[in-house]
Structure 1
Amino acid sequence: MSSKVVLITGTSSGIGLAAAVGAAKAGWRSVATLRDTSRADALRKAAADAGVELDIRQLDVTDPASVAAAIDGVINDHGRLDAVINNAGAGHLGTLENETVADVRQVMEVNFFGVLHVSKAALPHLRASGGRLITVTSVGGVVGQPFNEAYCAAKFAVEGYMESLAPVAAKLGVTVSVVEPGAVATEFVSNIGVDLEAEVAAAGPYADALQAYLDRTVSQFLSGAQSPAEAAESVLEALTADRPAFRIQTSDWARGFTGTKLTDLDGSAVLGLTNGWVG
């Protein structure tokens, strides 16, 4: 097991950090990548506290040259790649009338095309090792959520792409899984990078609905969010289980929430649920 190599994206905090440390504790050579290596202090401290060693490298999922350099570096230094965990992503808050199409494209660039850049570069090496391609998506990749149109669209796209790829990759020995967290107590929400009061003030006719959505969502994160370590346990399940499922939720809440959609043939259950979120 100690010879197996996993590359993980988006490890500066949250699920990615916990998964990188957890993989190392499980005996993997854990290559922890992040866009800005100056933000690796928390990652290094977590590794030191756990008594494990990480191989920390720069990787910007939106830059194909950066992706290629990181993958090539791993192969040159370690000789193999047995698993990839696509975790890097960015949150987004907005609705169609109040944002530009360019805003939406940027969300897709990070959360969808970033996954494709890394996966495409890694697949030849995963084929060689009979490895695993794991992508952290979201319950928002199954259930569309108000004021998260662009984010959910990107996560829906990832889920559809990986679900379609899975049987093709399996024929060549690569196992594909997606991991769906619900609310996780990480820096992800703060990393959206918006002033919520200003967003409501600028929302025009959408202000009341946006405020209702924010009240509900903030309450959920305060009362029911998982810890990153708890969510990362499901990522490690996908990495280490003999036969991991294609779709893995990280909590009972996430299983119930996504189950609403997966058994909702006419869409009424989902819309009945989310209509209540906006007042």
Structure 2
Amino acid sequence: MTSSKTVLITGTSSGIGLAAAIGAARAGWTAIATMRDTGKAEALLKAAAEAGVADRIQLKRLDVTDPASIAACLDEVIAEHGHLDALVNNAGAAQVGTLELMSIDDVRAAMEVNFFGVVAATRAALPHLRASKGRVITVTSVGGVVGQPFNEAYCAAKFAVEGFMESLAPVAATVGVDVTVVEPGAVASEFVANIGLDIPALLAAAGPYTSALQAYIARTQQSYGNAQTPAEAAAPIIDALTAERPAFRIQTSQWARDFVATTLADLDGSAVQALTATWVR
């Protein structure tokens, strides 16, 4: 069993999750780096070796949509380390489309990964985090605060996570568990590429939404040209791991702070609607 603090991070094959695992290991934590397909661990293992932290990275399989997989992973962690001090819910999947262009199954799939996966992993980890007086850190998105065109299912799931965690936080605090949400903006990672979008096919099927979708895609491509690096976006996660009392809500950049402030100060919703309307025309 290890004496160092142990953090389990979901979705570490690339992007923010990979960077968070490396950052946590550099900060002295034992990072349990999980992913649905451990055959995709090459980038993580290479980064760990280059950073000199391979001895503090432990790779495990975990599928957040499978309760048995979550339970098996946590059982292994407790058997091997004796404790769990933090959970970082990072695994997620993008979903681009609008209501008439998606099936209900598409919407349910987005909720399954981005919301129910977070709930399931958190629920399973809480008994161990109560024992260690640990913390839950969940990567949401600025899309969990500001609804965004052609991201209805994704934003719905992220809004749900934000509401869930905001409601859980004061209850968890009574048993010594801190709860934090981390809100990135655009991040230069494989997250968007992993959607597997065929843009010409998407536009061809867009019907009356073609013009709006073209405008949205152009705006999105431009925003990702000025994106944060995964390491930059992961840095606040490490801060939340190591802070004595982390804030509940943390944005990963000044841009993200300015963006979510639009909603937080928008009592009637008009400011957000005026902003996002410019994305589709």
Q: Same fold (TM over 0.5)?
A: yes
- Counterpart of 2:277? 275
Taking the aligned partners of 1:220 and 1:98, their CA distance within structure 2 comes to: 24
- Counterpart of 2:245? 243
| Superposition pairs of residues 173-212 of structure 1, within 5 angstroms | 173-212=176-215
Taking the aligned partners of 1:88 and 1:78, their CA distance within structure 2 comes to: 23
- Counterpart of 1:62? 65
Tell me the CA shift for residue 2 of structure 1: 5.7
2:143 pairs, out of 136, 140, 143, with 140
| Counterpart AA for 1:3 | S
Q: Is the 8 A contact 1:260 1:269 kept in 2?
A: yes
Q: Kindly report the root-mean-square deviation, in angstroms, between the aligned alpha carbons of the 2 structures.
A: 0.8
Taking the aligned partners of 2:139 and 2:169, their CA distance within structure 1 comes to: 15
Tell me the CA shift for residue 237 of structure 1: 1.2
1:93 pairs, out of 87, 93, 96, with 96
Taking the aligned partners of 1:275 and 1:165, their CA distance within structure 2 comes to: 33
- Please say which of residues 192-201 and 16-25 is displaced more in the overlay: 192-201
2:109 is the counterpart of 1:109: no
Q: Is the 8 A contact 1:2 1:27 kept in 2?
A: no
Structure 2 length normalisation: TM-score? Answer: 0.98
Structure 1 length normalisation: TM-score? Answer: 0.99
Aligned residues: 278
- Counterpart of 1:3? 4
Q: Is the 8 A contact 1:14 1:186 kept in 2?
A: yes
Structure 1 stretches of 5 or more lacking a match? none
- Counterpart of 2:236? 234
Alignment identity in percent?
A: 69
SS, match of residue 16 in structure 2: helix
| Counterpart AA for 2:251 | Q
1:169 pairs, out of 160, 167, 172, with 172
SS, match of residue 273 in structure 1: helix
- Counterpart of 1:51? 52
